[in-house]
Amino acid sequence: MNWMNRRQSGWPSPAGGSWPRLAGFLVVVMSAAALSAQTLKYTKRPDAVHGETVYRSGCIACHGDRGAGAAPTSTEFVRPDTFPDFTRCDQTTPEPDINWKATIVHGGPGFGLSTIMPAFGELLSDEDINDVIAYLRTMCTNPHWPRGELNLPRAIVTEKAFPEDEFVLSTAANASGAPGFTTDYIHEQSFGAKTQLEVDLPQHDEDQNHQWQNGIGDITFGLKRVLWSSLRTGSIVAVQGGVLPPTGDSKRGFGAGTTTFEPFVSADQLFRTNTWVQFQMGAELPVDPKKSPQSLFYYTALGQTLAGDHRLGRQWSPMVEFLANRDLLDGAKTDWDVLPEMQVTLSKRQHIRVDLGYRAPFINTAGRQGQVDFYILWDWADGKFWEGW
């Protein structure tokens, strides 16, 4: 992902006995996930035909005959910027059903939206609401847009497959040794149904021999493309091609000193229990491998999203990442890190989230240190930063 994730060369043999520890840890995490699983299953399959009847009786006055909004002349209210047009796939597909359900049950303010949108939790049954959502889903007729349910919580290192519109400020601070931190300013923007552009600017601040040094590192420009996604199976696969021109000061250790190409593939899987796993696998290919070695990386994030209020409330996503990096040098060993973390939604609209974790070297640990990792992200397509709290 960025240059700081790389390792230096010359590692001793792997720490013995780490694998049983790793396996034990996995078992604990997975059983915790299974115990607290909240099923996505419906007691009855949602019925879009009945949903249309609900829509015609309760929603049409404001949302209009076709879901694009009633004529402004027939409605009293001033339309908020976020007023939905349910026929526009670009607006509707990123929203998972659960967000719409929170809005319909609790009204606009329940999801940080306008009070004009009434609460229907007392008027409609749970099934009616599932049915009307199924009907709303028939209004976007292009099946190529990946659905927001597959937009899994962002892990700190492992990159997801879903194309995003977000801004992330992510920092990693050394937990021991000389103080130092890296802050990444990451902008992601989607184009059409399946493409995303990413720019990642790292800023380094380090105590080097009792002198503070700072500067930018190598900037990543990445283009992601979704190859395949299916809400039915809960899967999404994407590829990304990235290029990192040597914008950093490599003499101070803030960059590779040569242009690096970074191709990778991401594959994410959501299970019915709301447990999920994200894989990312790729390579860092500096043009001049004498300046910086070529390497492979293989990352996994395993997690679970929990929320109260029948899953409509604040979302907590405990997860753990397993991060492997290996230089493409003779006799190089693979570095493994484990990164337990917790992501939580802050705003009611869930467009502001934070994540805090600790990255611990696990195998091949010599010369590497732990890191405290944190990010705050803003899904700017869902509204301004200060709106929707």
Reduced to 3 states (helix: H, G, I; strand: E, B; else coil), residue 49 is helix
CB-wise, 103 or 315, nearer to ligand HEC? 103
Does residue 273 come out as left (phi exceeding 0), alpha (psi in the -120 to 50 range) or beta?
A: alpha
- Could you give the residue ranges of the DSSP H alpha helices within 68-165? 89-92, 97-106, 126-137
C-alpha separations of 139 from 84, 232, 283, 357 in Å: 12, 18, 41, 40
CB-wise, 180 or 383, nearer to ligand HEC? 383
Alpha carbon distance 344, 305 (integer Å): 9
- Could you give the residue ranges of the DSSP H alpha helices within the chain? 18-35, 48-58, 60-63, 89-92, 97-106, 126-137, 308-311
Stretch binding ligand HEC (CB under 6 A), from 26-34, 98-106, 200-208, 330-338: 98-106
**What angle do the packed helices 48-58 and 126-137 form, to 10 degrees?**
100
Out of 96, 118, 148, 367, the only residue in the binding site for ligand HEC (CB under 6 A) is 118
Contact 154, 355 (CB under 8 A): yes
CB-wise, 79 or 291, nearer to ligand HEC? 79
Contact 180, 207 (CB under 8 A): yes
Q: Give me the torsion for CA of 62, 60, 42, 193, rounded to 10°.
A: -70
Q: Does 350 bind ligand HEC (CB under 6 A)?
A: no
| HSE value, Cβ hemisphere, 13 Å, CA-based, for 276 | 27
Out of 94, 108, 202, 253, the only residue in the binding site for ligand HEC (CB under 6 A) is 108
Does residue 356 come out as left (phi exceeding 0), alpha (psi in the -120 to 50 range) or beta?
A: beta
Q: Footprint of ligand HEC on residues 122-181 (CB under 6 A)?
A: 132
Smallest distance, ligand HEC to C-beta of residue 156, A: 27
Smallest distance, ligand HEC to C-beta of residue 382, A: 8
Q: Does 370 bind ligand HEC (CB under 6 A)?
A: no
Smallest distance, ligand HEC to C-beta of residue 316, A: 21
Out of 3, 11, 120, 279, the only residue in the binding site for ligand HEC (CB under 6 A) is 120
Out of 29, 33, 89, 104, the only residue in the binding site for ligand HEC (CB under 6 A) is 104
Smallest distance, ligand HEC to C-beta of residue 69, A: 9
Smallest distance, ligand HEC to C-beta of residue 82, A: 3
Smallest distance, ligand HEC to C-beta of residue 48, A: 12
Contact code string over 310-349 relative to ligand HEC, x by CB under 6 A: ----------------------------------------
Q: Does 94 bind ligand HEC (CB under 6 A)?
A: no
Alpha carbon distance 223, 263 (integer Å): 10
Q: Does 18 bind ligand HEC (CB under 6 A)?
A: no
Out of 105, 113, 256, 319, the only residue in the binding site for ligand HEC (CB under 6 A) is 113
- Could you give the residue ranges of the DSSP H alpha helices within 59-107? 60-63, 89-92, 97-106
Smallest distance, ligand HEC to C-beta of residue 380, A: 15
Contact code string over 54-93 relative to ligand HEC, x by CB under 6 A: ----xx-xxx-------------x--x-xxx---------
Contact 344, 354 (CB under 8 A): yes
| Helix, strand, coil percentages for the chain (3-state, nearest 5) | 20, 35, 40
10 φ/ψ angles, rounded to the nearest 5 degrees: 80, 65
**Residue ranges binding ligand HEC (CB under 6 A):** 58-59, 61-63, 77, 80, 82-84, 95, 99-100, 103-104, 108, 113-114, 116-118, 120, 132
